[in-house]
Structure 1
Amino acid sequence: MTIQPPAPGEPPRPLGPRNPGDAWVVAGDGSRYWGRFGAAGLLAVDPERGVLLQHRVSWSHHGDTWALPGGARHEGESACDAALRESAEEAGVPASAVRPRLLSVLDLDVWSYATLVADVIRPFEPVISDPESHELAWVPVDAVDDYPLHPAFADSWPMLRSLLPVRPAVVVDAANVVGAVPDGWWRDRAGAAGRLLGEVAALAAGGLDAAGLGLAADTWFPEFHVVLEGAARAADDVAGIDLVRAAGHGDDAIVDRARELASAGRAVTVVTSDRALGERVTAVGGAVQPVSWLRDRL
């Protein structure tokens, strides 16, 4: 692998190098990829308008094609942060207006490209905020193939499109998870639940490996629903986690929530090592993972 600036005769990038990542990676076969530390882009999905695409300017690599807002990662920058930063720089996408759903990574050893698929949770209008775009447009999912796509995006689009209907959710049996570790939780059930919620919130922010959820791609950011019962219901709310404070038995609340999510089309995983509860969850369309599965990821 070698690192090079734009090739002789290639129109320069108008803004010039802004960080050490703004350089071409040249593979052994001569293939060239933009981004010394890899690159990332955002596939923003709006339920009404479709997906946000960028019409690339003529002087860019594979110019006059349509692709995702994105670009070179900074050194040490996560793929998610890079995708959100680049989409803000190129299309004015507010990070607060989207919620990450999954990350798909093309890893070529010498270079990688990460696609962050994110759901629009607050409608916004894209804004051309640098010279790299002819235009920005919301394109209905069924119409994307009608556009002249950047070759790399054209290759990845069928897989990405197949994942758009998939929306995973994880329901946590907090009593079962907390009770699996003899750390004195019985002296302060609300405090023990609060500690678990903090750990789950950190996991939710960082994402779950796709294989652990039985899904394609690399990392998913599922909805997390944590069911509390008894004294644990006094635990405080935690951002990013949907708390279910069971009015009665926690098992019934878990089954009800799993049924509700499955009926809404979610791919539901319930975390519990209670065999009888697991059978009830399976009967309403959910999958089950043991407490150890979650503990290994916290």
Structure 2
Amino acid sequence: MTIVPPAPGEPRRPDGPRDPGDAWVVSDDGAKYWGRFGAAGLLAVDPERGVLLQHRVAWSHHGDTWGLPGGARHEGESQCDAALREAAEEAGVPGGAVAPRFLSVFDIGIWSYATVVADVVVPFEPVISDPESRELAWVPLDAVDDYPLHPGFAASWPMLRALLPVRPAVVVDAANVVGSVPDGWWNDRAGAAGRLLEAIAARAGEGTDAADLGLSGDVWFPEWHVVLEGDARGAGDVAGVRVVRADGAGDDAIVAAAQELTDAGRSVTVVTSDRGLAERVRALGAAARGAGWLRDVRG
């Protein structure tokens, strides 16, 4: 493997010098891959308009094909951050307009490409904002294969499309998880619940390994629901987590949440070590994980 910088005179971004990550990785057989630290792209999914595709300029690698806005990662940059930054630079995707749902990684050892699949939460119109885009378009899912696709995207599209209907959710039995560690939680139930919510919010931002959810792909960003009961209901809301404050029995609220989500076609995981509760949610079609599954996020 060798690292080859861009050729002199090769087009640059309009806002300054290249980043150290802007270089070719060349394998022993001569194949070239853009991005010293790997690369990432954004597949934005709009429920009404389809997916956002970029018509690449002719001078780019595999030019004059359609693919995803994306590019080389910066050193130390996460895959999600790289995809969102590149999408903003190349397609004018506003910050906060999309919410990552899952991450799929193509890794050949010397180089990797991460596709961040994200749902549009604030509708926007893409804008050509740098020289790498010839055209940007929302393309209906059934029409994607009609376009001359970038070979990398063409290879991954069937798998990505198959995963688009999957929308995972995790329902947490907070009382059971908090009670699984004798750390004095009984002295301040609301405080203990608040710490759990903060830990879950941090995990939500980092994503969850697909294998831990029984799903394909690499990393998922499920919707998190945490059920609080009794004095724990006094914990405040935390961004990134949906808090359910049970009016009665916490178990019944957990079953109701799991029922609503499974009825909506969601892939549901319930976190509890209560065997009876686990049996109830499995009967609904949800998976059940023990409290230890979440223990690492509590610190």
Runs of 4+ in structure 1 off by over 6 angstroms are: none
CA contact (8 A) 1:17 1:23 kept: no
1:282 aligns with 2:282: yes
Kindly state the Cα deviation for residue 17 of structure 1 after the two structures are TM-superposed: 5.1
1:257 aligns with 2:257: yes
Paired residues, number:
296
Residue number in structure 2 paired with 1:182: 182
Residue number in structure 2 paired with 1:37: 37
* Equivalent residue runs for 1:128-277 within 5 Å: 128-277=128-277
In the TM superposition, what whole-angstrom CA distance separates every residue of 1:251-293 from its partner, at most 9, and x where no partner exists?
0000000000001111000000000000110111211011111
In the TM superposition, what whole-angstrom CA distance separates every residue of 1:162-214 from its partner, at most 9, and x where no partner exists?
10000000000000000000011111100000010010000001000000001
The letter for the 2-side match of 1:242 is R
Kindly state the Cα deviation for residue 7 of structure 1 after the two structures are TM-superposed: 5.6
Residue number in structure 2 paired with 1:12: 10
2-side partners of 1:282 and 1:95: how far apart?
A: 38
Please report the TM-score for the alignment, with normalisation by the length of structure 2.
0.97
In the TM superposition, what whole-angstrom CA distance separates every residue of 1:117-164 from its partner, at most 9, and x where no partner exists?
000001000000001111000000111000000000000101100100
Cα RMSD (Å): 1.2
1-side partners of 2:285 and 2:296: how far apart?
A: 24
The letter for the 2-side match of 1:60 is S
Residue number in structure 1 paired with 2:66: 66
* Equivalent residue runs for 1:84-103 within 5 Å: 84-103=84-103
2-side partners of 1:59 and 1:138: how far apart?
A: 23
1:112 aligns with 2:112: yes
2-side partners of 1:262 and 1:14: how far apart?
A: 48
Structure 2: runs of 5 or more not aligned: none
2-side partners of 1:95 and 1:34: how far apart?
A: 25
1-side partners of 2:75 and 2:7: how far apart?
A: 22
Please report the TM-score for the alignment, with normalisation by the length of structure 1.
0.97
The letter for the 2-side match of 1:13 is P
SS of the aligned residue for 1:96 comes to coil
Structure 1: runs of 5 or more not aligned: none
CA contact (8 A) 1:42 1:115 kept: yes
CA contact (8 A) 1:171 1:270 kept: yes
1-side partners of 2:262 and 2:28: how far apart?
A: 48
In the TM superposition, what whole-angstrom CA distance separates every residue of 1:34-75 from its partner, at most 9, and x where no partner exists?
000000000000000000000001111111100000000000
1-side partners of 2:209 and 2:166: how far apart?
A: 15
CA contact (8 A) 2:200 2:297 kept: no
Residue number in structure 1 paired with 2:81: 81
2-side partners of 1:144 and 1:209: how far apart?
A: 28
2-side partners of 1:209 and 1:102: how far apart?
A: 10
SS of the aligned residue for 1:129 comes to coil
CA contact (8 A) 1:53 1:66 kept: yes
The letter for the 1-side match of 2:173 is D
Residue number in structure 1 paired with 2:125: 125
